[in-house]
Amino acid sequence: MTQDEFAEYIGKLWSMIVWENKKNIADKIIELNGFENIKNRLIDLLYGSDDIAKRWDEFYKNVKQIGPSTMSELLSYINSEEYVICNKVTCECFRYLEVENVPSHNYQYTGKNYKNLCTIAKEIKEKLNENNVTNVDLLIVDYMFWDIVYPLSKKEKNEEIIDDIQIEKDEKQFIHNDIINQIVEIGQWLGFESESEVKIADGAVVDAIWQAQIGNMGKVIYAFEVQTHGSIDSLILNL
């Protein structure tokens, strides 16, 4: 796979539809992760022999700029009998069907929770088969969510998800990385040159920056530091 082929491969995904310049996003993924690394990580996620929960966590923890929607979409296209697409819409549908432990926040998209959703989706697939719906796989379950379950869920009033899941150490790392990725994405949407983990001086690395050239006057740069634990003093010192 060449870098251009990778851009085409990623750019065809539904989860990438929001991006107008998909080549730019693919280039950013390569820049942040390294091309050989991202290819090896994808091979392990999609074709590895370990349990899907472990493969999911390893990929999610170690690859920047590729989130649960893209990960699950790739998995479902590779093996639609085993893996379901998992994004905000499908999670809302699972909650509407009263499934427990459905992710509400990015740090909850763990391998364990994704594996559980795949198990539930397969049970839904079997129910469809029992009701004479033929040729059902987990992509068909996804289509059913979008066409039938999601419109029903939108009619619910005053639906509020109460989150009492404790944030453990690994989940704090999930949150930290997710927020950085979201800051970078927001910067890109706003038209800035946006990147994460930028060295600004010897021994000084900030979590994310946005920058823009203002004619011949120089650059405007916004710096972001994300902190999920520790004192506010250390956060201010980093900035």
* Percentage, residues of the chain above pLDDT 90: 43
**CA 138/CA 129 separation, integer angstroms:** 12
Whether the predicted pLDDT of 176 surpasses 80? no
Check residue 36 and give its pLDDT: 95
Check residue 144 and give its pLDDT: 93
pLDDT-derived band at 170, boundaries 50, 70, 90: low
pLDDT digits (tens, 9 = 90+) for 85-118: 999 899 999 999 999 889 887 778 899 999 999 9
**CA 171/CA 111 separation, integer angstroms:** 12
**CA 174/CA 186 separation, integer angstroms:** 18
Q: Determine whether 2 is exposed, middle or buried from the number of CB atoms within 10 Å of its CB (0-12, 13-18, 19+).
A: exposed
Check residue 105 and give its pLDDT: 77
> What is the CB neighbour count within 10 angstroms for residue 104?
16
Check residue 165 and give its pLDDT: 39
DSSP state of 65: S
Check residue 117 and give its pLDDT: 95
Lowest mean pLDDT among 4-8, 110-114, 202-206: 202-206
SS3 content of the chain, % helix, strand, coil (to 5): 55, 10, 35
Sorted by sequence, the CB contacts under 8 Å of residue 4 that are 6+ apart come out as none
The strand order across the sheet containing 219-224 reads 193-201, 204-213, 219-224
Check residue 161 and give its pLDDT: 39
Q: Which two tokens stand for residue 9?
A: 């491969």
Whether the predicted pLDDT of 185 surpasses 80? yes
Residues 103, 113 contacting (CB under 8 angstroms): yes
pTM (global) more than 0.85: no
**CA 207/CA 92 separation, integer angstroms:** 31
